[in-house]
A = this chain, B = another copy of it.
Amino acid sequence: MLRDPHLMALVDLSLAEDLGPGDLTCESIFPDRREVAARFVAREPLVVCGLDMAAAVFGRLDPACRFSRKRREGDRVRAGSVLAAVRGPVQAVLGGERTALNFVRHLSGIATLTRRYAEALKGSACVLLDTRKTLPGYRRIEKAAVRAGGGHNHRMGLFDGVMIKDNHILAAGSISRAVRMARARIPPTVKIEVECSQIRQVRAALSAGADIIMLDNMPPARMRKAVEIVSGRALVEASGRLDLDTVRAAADCGVDFVSVGAITHGARAVDVAMDLVRS
């Protein structure tokens, strides 16, 4: 069950916007609370994600709903596969249908796309990471969808990692000054990453004591040189508009991580439907 108050708030917002003061259709057509059953069915091949959100939607609408998962997060399924079943009062089952589907379709879309990137990296030691290019309010569940698809998570937000970008360097004066100031004030449990687009920045970050060097939009040759320079003294991440055609080449430059914004912001919803079960 979903217990994260942030996610419950998102579910509540979602139900409020769709139901408002009530579902006119169900409330007028069904005078009693008859029980119905329905199934969530994949209409195309996909990687499953978002069933927790669907369960929360129905649980929040009516605690009398029973939602049962038929597949686990991260399962790869064929078209026609049943992902989950729900049984409950007709008002809740039909009233929650669209909101639940919208979550499952969106999150399974991210998991499905992530899986394709993960496969492109198969056999490589390089780890696939996501970014902060997620839909506002959806950070936690989109990052869970990345994990379901076989990716790993970069920092969750601005609070659990230091990432010094060109804007920060510009405003702070230099890489070494920025790293030194950060190190003196952040908790000892947090690492410092520096974004570099030039080799001289890589050297500066390294000597300032950065824990992670991020190579931003570098051509492969420059990336390989950067990896050589770092030579294990820091972790190295490749980033910058990587897609399915380019991600493997970046990984093969010897970096520890590739981070790909498109696995979240470039995914499309996959097709999942809810079918009422005739009893």
A interface residue numbers (CB < 8 A to B): 1, 3-6, 9-31, 34, 36, 53, 61-63, 90, 94-95, 98-99, 102-103, 105-106, 127, 129, 132-140, 152-164, 167-168, 170-172, 178, 181-182, 184-191, 193, 211-212, 235, 237, 256-257, 265-266, 268-269, 276, 278
Asked if A189 and B188 make an inter-chain contact with CB atoms under 8 angstroms apart, the answer reads no
> What is the minimal beta-carbon distance from A194 to any residue of chain B, in angstroms?
10
- A159-B6 contact, Cβ under 8 Å, with A17-B140, A167-B94: no
Asked if B269 and A161 make an inter-chain contact with CB atoms under 8 angstroms apart, the answer reads no
> What is the minimal beta-carbon distance from A102 to any residue of chain B, in angstroms?
5
How far, in angstroms, from A268 to B243 measured CA to CA in the complex? 14
CB neighbours (8 Å) of A256 from chain B are 188
Asked if B168 and A29 make an inter-chain contact with CB atoms under 8 angstroms apart, the answer reads yes
Chain A, interface SS category: mixed
Copy total for this chain: 6
Asked if A25 and B164 make an inter-chain contact with CB atoms under 8 angstroms apart, the answer reads yes
> What is the minimal beta-carbon distance from A158 to any residue of chain B, in angstroms?
4
Asked if B156 and A21 make an inter-chain contact with CB atoms under 8 angstroms apart, the answer reads yes
Asked if B24 and A159 make an inter-chain contact with CB atoms under 8 angstroms apart, the answer reads yes
Asked if A21 and B20 make an inter-chain contact with CB atoms under 8 angstroms apart, the answer reads yes
CB neighbours (8 Å) of A268 from chain B are 265-266, 268
Could you pull out 28 A-B pairs where Cβ atoms are within 8 angstroms? Answer: A14-B137, A17-B140, A17-B157, A19-B159, A20-B156, A22-B156, A22-B158, A23-B158, A24-B162, A29-B171, A29-B182, A31-B181, A90-B171, A102-B132, A102-B136, A106-B135, A106-B265, A133-B269, A135-B138, A155-B187, A160-B187, A163-B189, A189-B191, A189-B211, A191-B191, A265-B268, A265-B269, A266-B268
Asked if B21 and A162 make an inter-chain contact with CB atoms under 8 angstroms apart, the answer reads no
CB neighbours (8 Å) of A171 from chain B are 29-30, 34, 36, 90, 276
- A181-B235 contact, Cβ under 8 Å, with A18-B158, A136-B14: no
CB neighbours (8 Å) of A154 from chain B are 187-189
How far, in angstroms, from A154 to B187 measured CA to CA in the complex? 5
From B34, B132, B191, give the contact of A188 (CB < 8 A). Answer: B191
CB neighbours (8 Å) of A9 from chain B are 9, 13
